[in-house]
Amino acid sequence: MIGPRTTYQRITRRSWLQSSSVGFGWLAFAGLAHAEQKPHFSPRTKNVIFCFMDGGPSHVDTFDPKPMLTKHQGVKIGEAAVSTRSQSDANRVWLGSPWEFRQRGQSGLWVSDLFPRISEVADRLCVVRSMVGELPLHGQQNLLLHTGRILGQAPSFGAWVNYGLGSENQQLPGYVVLNNDWVPNGGLENFGSAYLPASHQATMIRPAGVPVNHIVPTLPPNTQRRLLKLLDEQDKTFSESVSDANAIEGAIANYETAYRMQSAIPDVTDLSSEPLYIHKLYGLDSSDEHQRLYATQTLRARRLVEAGVRFVEITCPSFDGNNSPWDQHGQLKSLHEKNARITEQSVAALIIDLEQRGLLDDTIVLWAGEMGRTPHTPVVNEGCGRDHHVNGYTLFMAGGGFRGGITFGETDEFGNSVVAQPLDIHDIHATILHQLGIDHQRLTFRHGGRDHRLTDVYGRVMKELLDG
């Protein structure tokens, strides 16, 4: 079985298209073939907004308080704490958090002072403190987070959701990445469709200037229609000479989507119709350019899911243009505070805005980096930082039927490794797919002689994280 698009993959579309393609016939069919699909079972929610915190926010400085780090700051960690899954050796020393932790909201969820705005929505957060990764390397962990594979060459999470459910709005793509002019380690494979039809890869929208290249037509409508008809005829002829026309048909579907997007994208990305209080809520009035751009993309994310886009990812801006945003090997305090200032107001605003519009039940907000940070450092000084750590780290979900105001899992007293209820990214993928009405074991695609899925041979639906 190859998933919910079995019919589309097994019948020969070319013969049907050859007999019925006039004008935009072929293009229209390609578009319809990727229209909204039926879930495997009744969905709890409809959309995902993934706030990707590239580089690895420190779990012990955000949602996982460790008083023992402060008590033992400067003390060598010893051989027992050394791990091959973090940058560690016995002579490193424990490093306490420079931020105070407080219990927030009615739930008493622990959140540090690094996140004053996110603290205000603590009762909406489902915090997982027991994430475990594979390798303390940005590229591999980014690919694992996005594709379920450390080596890439696999469809991204958003592409699988788009493949499984399609778009609710045929004027817009089903999968959008709101890029902040920074491609994370692992490259564009993080957002690609790999062996799935090309129409399922992400459409990239930039934060400033023209949102998407060539989206504004430069030709008169009649001329453009004639050009697309010519492309249709050329692609049809070429597809007859190849054994597998999926890539060609994917490109054709992209032509059709692009044609429809000409009016929809400028409208949905234009924030001028949003009231002033919404601009202020998200931080569009900030004096920090990076914060304004991130706020722009976050507000666009709400508008996109409101318009029917299934999966939206927001990347972080790299304020120096060279390093992963949250990758603080040094200057932990000043640079983590800068990343928090750029992003956290907008993330909190997104949750508040979705809830006040009645959209939070229909939308999962996922906040995650690819790893955490070591609870230790080579030396404690004013400019010290934390290094790569995948033995235990934190992410959260909000909305979409996830329980609010809870923590799940536990790391040891120093935050060095998971000691209770370990989860990996396959479990998170499986659980989010479940909320969208997709059985992660049935969402498959035949490639290279076997059925592939996002979660490979892993993944558990973690019902402990869900309401009801």
> Do 408 and 126 meet the contact criterion of CB atoms below 8 Å apart?
yes
Q: Is 460 left (phi over 0), alpha (psi -120 to 50) or beta?
A: beta
- The continuous run of DSSP H or E covering 407 comes out as strand 406-408
Question: What pLDDT does residue 253 have?
Answer: 67
The secondary structure of 331-371 as a DSSP string is: -HHHHHHHHHHHHHHHHHHHHHHHHHTT-STTEEEEEE-S-
Nearest to 443 by CA among 202, 143, 161: 161
Q: How many helices (H) does the chain have, and how many strands (E)?
A: 13, 18
Question: What pLDDT does residue 217 have?
Answer: 64
Question: What pLDDT does residue 10 have?
Answer: 37
444: tokens are: 């498959």
Residue 127 has phi, psi (to 5 degrees) of -100, 125
The rounded distance, in Å, linking the Cα atoms of 395 and 415 is: 14
- Degrees (nearest 5) of the Cα angle 14, 16, 17? 60
Q: Summarize pLDDT for 387-436 with one digit per residue, the tens.
A: 999 999 999 999 999 999 999 999 999 999 999 999 999 999 999 999 99
Domains of the chain by residue range:
37-66+103-223+262-375+382-465
The rounded distance, in Å, linking the Cα atoms of 184 and 171 is: 28
The rounded distance, in Å, linking the Cα atoms of 329 and 342 is: 19
List the chain residues with pLDDT less than 50: 1-34
What does the radius of gyration of the chain's CA atoms come to, in whole angstroms? 23
- The superfamily CATH assigns to domain 37-66+103-223+262-375+382-465 is Alkaline Phosphatase, subunit A (3.40.720.10)
One-letter amino acid for residue 183 of the chain: V
> Do 191 and 315 meet the contact criterion of CB atoms below 8 Å apart?
no
Question: What pLDDT does residue 254 have?
Answer: 63
Question: What pLDDT does residue 85 have?
Answer: 87
